[in-house]
Amino acid sequence: QLPTGLYKKVLVILHDSVLPYMNEPTLMMDFLTVAYGIGGAISLLALNGLFILIHQHNLEYPDFYKKLYSLLDPSIYHVKYRARFFHLTDLFLSSSHLPAYLVAAFIKRLSWLALTAPPEALLMIIPFICNLFRRHPACRVLVHRPGGPADMSEDPYVMEEEEPSQSRALESSLWEIQSLQNHYHPDVAKAAAVLNQSLSEMEDDISGLLELSAYELFDKEVKKKAVDVPLEFEQVRGLFGKKNDICAEHFSLD
Each residue of 19-70: pLDDT tens digit?
A: 888 888 888 888 888 888 887 778 888 888 888 888 888 877 778 888 888 8
Q: What is the pLDDT of residue 108?
A: 93
CA distance 113 to 75: 9
- The confidence score (pLDDT) of residue 206 equals 80
Nearest-10 crossing angle of helices 100-114, 119-135: 160
Supply the pLDDT for residue 238.
59
Q: What's the confidence (pLDDT) of residue 60?
A: 79
Structural domains in the chain (count): 1
pLDDT of the residue at 254: 62
Residue 193, burial from CB neighbour count under 10 angstroms (0-12, 13-18, 19+): middle
Inside any domain, residue 55: no
121 inside domain: yes
Predicted TM-score of the model (pTM): 0.76
The stretches in the chain having pLDDT less than 70 are 144-153, 232-245, 248, 252-254
Domain that holds residue 156: 98-224
Residue 218 in domain:
yes
Q: Could you give the CA distance from residue 96 to residue 132 in angstroms, rounded to a whole number?
A: 10
**Which residues, in sequence order, are CB contacts of 66 under 8 Å at separation 6+?**
162, 163, 164
Residue 124 lies in a domain: yes
> Are 172 and 108 spatial neighbours (Cβ–Cβ below 8 Å)?
yes
